Structure formats: structure tokens, C-alpha cells
């Protein structure tokens, strides 16, 4: 398969092509492929069509981990027939995977109809267009996402999101994107009056504890590929179908790998007594008898 710029086309077991970062040793959407994973994890789980149909004004989506743009494009394609205004803000430390993917758009198969838009997006890092009834305003924030969140950026910060597509490299490979300070800063960027949900592919106890301590309600996410569960977090529990309950909490309290990462170094350890006590006191578990 083709290789250039540090990226490689790979063919998955189901025959679908995806992109692999050679430097990071990570394949994007490695099991079911880019579109199927994005539809399950983000479009369906976020109930995007339903929410957009019942939403007035601009609907803001943060795309954390632009990568090769499969998540963003799947979201746009799945909602292109709706009369909606989408403001899409993509974050990544590099735009190179998208450049590589666009050169191999035919093999990847998910760019159909968006190639010209993306060429301009790569040049200008911002684009506006109409696609049928859909209005799109898409911008790219190039840089270190944890540092950006920690900077408390003022006037130039994008509007708080209604949905977050969180697709960073794995914690073992990229621990800086999975720390408690990062998710705490992210939660603080949300508008308490603007319900927002964040799905991600991991179901790890460490991640779920981290999200809970950062302020989110957390629930069991839809299965995707080889994963029987993923995770969904939100600032409004009504966006979560199956919130984590006391049975999950009891398992977390016994887990050998549950203490959040407070520094960008991947470690695994049981909950400290202080962290365990904080978890027990969270609103999600107080009064839950399931």
C-alpha cells in the first residue's frame, strides 16, 4: 500500500482502507474502518440527527483529533439533508494526515463530494459552504490541545460545543490527551446551559473515573468493532442512555487500574483512598440503588 509523509494506507480485515501513522504506530479506526466507526460512535450515539432537527440556530461540534477527517466528514454527510447550521471546530497538532488522506481519497472512499472543500480547508484552515439545506462553518485549530485548553484563551476561543468528537491516540501512546487536568479544563469550557455530550472509543476504568472527577456524568457507550462497550460523557445526564451505576463503582473500587493520570505519563494503579472517597460522593452515585 502507499506510504509517504510518515503515513501509510493499510487494508483492514474487512477490506476497507484506513490510514496508519508510522511515527506513532497507530492505525486510524483499525477494526471496522473510518465511516462505520464514526457512524456508530458519534452520529448515532450523539443522536445528532434528532438533536439537529430540534435545534434552532448554530450547533457547535468540537472535533478533537482531526486526523484524516473521517469523523468530521461522516458527521457532515449524515446530516447534509437537514436544514441545520453546523459550526465545526477541528483540533490537531498536525494537518499532515489529512493531506495524505486527500491524496488517496479514491482508496479511502469517504471524501466523495468534499475534495474541493478540503483542499481549501488545508490551505486556509477555515471554510464556509452550503450543502443542500445544511450550512457549514468549519475551522482548524492547529497546535497542542492540552496546552490550548490550559491557556484559558479568551476572545479567540471557539463557542462552547453541543457535541465533542473525542478521538485522540491511545493513552499508552499519547497520555497527555487523557489526563484529569485535560478533562477538567475541557469540562470548564462547556456552557452549563448548553447540553453537551462527548463519546470516545475507550471503555477503560481509568478514563471513566477521570471523566467523572472532571465533572461529567458518564455512561456506557455503544459497541463498535471489537469493543463491546465504549464511553459517553455529558454535562447533562439526559444525554446518556445508560449511566454508570453503583455496580460499576464497586468494580472500579476493586480495580488494579483506575487511578486517573494527573501527569502526561501513562501509569496504572488502584484508586487512592482520597480518589475513592471523591467518587463515592459524586451526584451520579449518591442515591443510586441499582
pLDDT, tens digit, for every residue of 59-81? 999 999 999 999 999 999 999 99
Residue 2 banded pLDDT, cuts 50, 70, 90: low
Three-state DSSP at 64 gives strand
Domains of the chain in sequence order = 29-244 (3.40.50.150)
Tens digits of per-residue pLDDT, 116-154? 999 999 999 999 999 989 999 999 999 999 999 988 655
How far is residue 262 from each of residues 105, 184, 281, measured CA to CA in Å?
A: 39, 11, 20
Question: What is the tens place of the pLDDT at every residue in 102-120?
Answer: 998 988 888 988 999 999 9
Q: Is the dihedral of CA 266, 272, 274, 277 positive or negative?
A: positive
Question: pLDDT at position 222, please?
Answer: 82
Grid cell digits, residue 242:
445508560
Neighbours of 260 (CB within 10 A): 25
Pairing of strands 134-142, 126-131: antiparallel
Helix, strand, coil content of the chain in percent (nearest 5): 35, 20, 45
Nearest CA to 213 out of 242, 184, 237, 246 is that of 184
- The 8-class DSSP code of residue 42 comes to I
DSSP designation for 213: H
User: Looking at residue 170, what is its pLDDT?
Assistant: 87
**pLDDT higher than threshold 90 for residue 190:** yes
**Neighbour count for residue 191 (Cβ, 10 Å):** 13
Please give the pLDDT value at position 7. Answer: 87
Question: What pLDDT shows up at residue 136?
Answer: 98
Is 90 exceeded by the pLDDT of residue 272?
yes
Distance between CA atoms of 117 and 126, rounded to whole angstroms? 10
Number of Cβ within a 10 Å radius of residue 239:
22
Query: What is the structure's pLDDT at 24?
Result: 79
Amino acid at each position: 500500500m502507499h506510504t509517504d509523509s510518515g503515513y501509510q494506507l493499510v487494508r483492514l480485515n474487512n477490506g476497507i482502507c484506513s490510514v496508519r501513522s508510522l511515527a506513532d504506530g497507530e492505525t486510524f479506526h483499525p477494526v471496522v474502518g473510518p465511516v462505520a466507526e464514526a457512524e456508530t460512535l458519534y452520529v448515532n450515539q450523539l443522536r445528532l440527527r434528532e438533536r439537529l432537527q430540534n435545534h434552532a440556530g448554530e450547533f457547535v461540534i468540537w472535533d478533537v483529533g482531526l486526523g484524516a477527517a473521517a469523523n468530521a466528514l461522516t458527521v457532515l454527510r449524515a446530516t447534509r439533508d437537514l436544514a441545520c447550521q453546523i459550526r465545526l471546530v477541528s483540533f490537531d497538532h498536525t494537518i499532515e494526515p489529512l493531506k495524505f488522506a486527500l491524496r488517496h481519497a479514491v482508496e479511502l472512499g469517504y471524501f466523495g463530494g468534499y475534495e474541493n472543500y478540503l483542499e481549501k480547508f488545508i490551505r486556509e484552515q477555515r471554510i464556509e459552504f452550503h450543502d443542500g439545506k445544511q450550512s457549514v462553518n468549519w475551522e482548524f485549530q492547529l497546535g497542542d490541545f492540552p496546552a490550548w485548553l490550559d491557556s484559558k484563551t479568551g476572545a479567540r476561543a471557539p463557542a462552547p460545543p453541543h457535541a465533542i468528537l473525542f478521538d485522540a491516540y491511545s493513552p499508552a501512546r499519547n497520555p497527555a490527551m487523557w489526563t484529569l487536568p485535560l478533562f477538567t479544563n475541557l469540562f470548564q469550557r462547556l456552557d452549563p446551559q448548553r447540553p453537551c455530550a462527548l463519546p470516545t472509543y475507550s471503555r477503560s476504568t481509568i478514563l471513566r473515573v477521570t471523566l467523572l472527577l472532571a465533572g461529567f456524568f458518564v455512561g456506557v457507550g455503544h459497541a463498535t468493532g471489537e469493543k463491546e462497550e465504549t464511553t459517553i460523557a455529558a454535562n447533562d445526564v439526559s444525554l446518556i442512555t445508560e449511566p454508570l451505576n453503583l455496580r460499576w463503582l464497586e468494580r472500579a473500587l476493586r480495580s488494579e487500574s483506575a487511578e486517573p493520570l494527573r501527569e502526561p505519563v501513562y501509569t496504572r494503579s488502584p484508586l487512592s483512598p482520597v480518589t475513592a472517597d471523591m467518587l463515592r460522593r459524586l451526584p451520579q452515585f449518591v442515591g443510586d440503588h441499582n
